Amino acid sequence: MKGNGRIIEYALSTLARRKFKNFSIAVVFSALIAVLSSILFLTHAYKTETLKLLDNSPEIILQNMSGGRHELIPTEYIKTLSGIAGVGQITPRYWGYYYDSLTSANYTLMAVDENMRDIQLIDGRMPQTDAECAVGRGVADLRQAGLKDDFFLITGAEQSVNLKIVGIFTANSAILTNDLVVMAKDGLIKFFNMPQDKATDITIEVNNPAEVSMVARKIRRAFPNSRPILKTELIRTYDNIFNWRGGIVLTMFFGAIAAFMIFVWDKATGINAQERREIGILKAIGWETADVLTLKFWEGTVVATGSFLTGLILAYVHVFYFNAQFLAPVLKGWSVLFPRFEPMPYIDIYQIFVLFFLTVVPYVAASVVPSWKAAISDPDAVMR
């Protein structure tokens, strides 16, 4: 241990003597890690938020289709659905999208529902009349509104609707609270001018989770123009979407990543005459080949690990403090019209370990192998 400590001390002094070369390598290495880590952090954060949102979602969401598009569904379907074996609770949902020209953001307006299990009130209560609403924390921050403040909406007929904020809520997933406005059912139906006998969609609980697919097939046979959306399908779809978008971003940076790796590899493997002479002197004064390799191992480890940690810190700050300004539009797609969304700091340790072994380990190997060639040579020949 004492010998290794002395070798590490000598390795640090060697790095200090060649500070400009090592600094350039560290800058490039840190930039590479920062780009890769930002993509992984942001993708994992979005996937985690989405899965949290879907945890308590119903087993089946039934939509009515016309011409391949989603349209309002008749509530009279509920009577037929309740007669299907295996079907549990059935709930019609009333919701829609609203573009707010004042803040250039999209809101999701939803009728208050007793099955809103994800929502946790921070202050106030849920709306009870047509003139009341409750908003998510993201909407409240964007509008700079608080409890008992006015909340203005403009209908399609260019008429202003004035609602009183009676509640502010949060949830396990920031996605849910970021753009959601909850209204009374009658007020929302009136706002969107929806027929009284129709809903946006119908949620269906299944008594036995193993029978979800079978129940969905029965529903499809009963209503050929409908589309039952399974919870498992939603989870799989969102998982694939974020994986695909993350892959697209990685592909966009592939050229830069390849150039960085070539630069780092060239700097790490290039041993100049002075470095070979130093290795020859060390061998001449009694250093073993294993000692020289240990020295180069620690030199490479210090540079690579330090750059890796610096890149991780930069990526963390970029994603979770500056909301990934350069990457978020690609991964969120049209949701850039949402109110400002700050991803929660979810990090996958497995991804970090994989990234470590794909970047740090090859760099250390690239530092040791050329030194081994010089270390096994005759010291006199190397110094000459």
List Cβ neighbours of 281 (8 Å cut-off, separation of 6 or more): 379, 383
Nearest to 57 by CA among 115, 144, 129, 123: 115
How many residues belong to the chain? 384
* pTM for the full predicted model: 0.70
Question: For residues 112 and 186, is the Cβ–Cβ distance under 8 A?
Answer: no
Place of tokens 């019609």: 92
pLDDT, position 342: 65
Question: For residues 358 and 127, is the Cβ–Cβ distance under 8 A?
Answer: no
Query: pLDDT per position in the chain (384 positions), as tens?
Result: 555 677 778 778 877 887 887 888 888 889 888 888 888 888 888 778 777 777 778 889 999 988 888 899 999 999 999 999 889 889 999 999 988 888 888 888 999 887 676 677 788 888 999 999 999 888 888 888 888 899 988 876 667 788 999 999 887 666 667 788 999 999 999 999 899 899 999 999 998 888 999 999 999 999 998 999 998 888 888 777 767 666 666 666 676 667 666 766 665 556 666 667 776 777 677 777 777 778 888 888 898 899 999 999 999 998 888 877 767 666 665 444 455 566 677 778 888 888 898 888 888 887 777 776 666 665 555 556
DSSP 339: S
What is the spatial distance between Cα 295 and Cα 302, in angstroms, rounded to a whole number?
A: 11
Question: For residues 323 and 341, is the Cβ–Cβ distance under 8 A?
Answer: yes
Place of tokens 């040791």: 368
Question: For residues 191 and 155, is the Cβ–Cβ distance under 8 A?
Answer: yes
In the chain, domain spans: 2-53+240-383, 59-229
What is the spatial distance between Cα 150 and Cα 165, in angstroms, rounded to a whole number?
A: 6
**CA distances for 380 relative to 11, 283, 287, 372, 383, angstroms:** 23, 9, 14, 16, 5
**∠26-30-31 over CA atoms, to 5°?**
120
Q: Is 238 exposed, middle or buried (0-12, 13-18, 19+ CB in 10 A)?
A: middle
pLDDT, position 256: 65
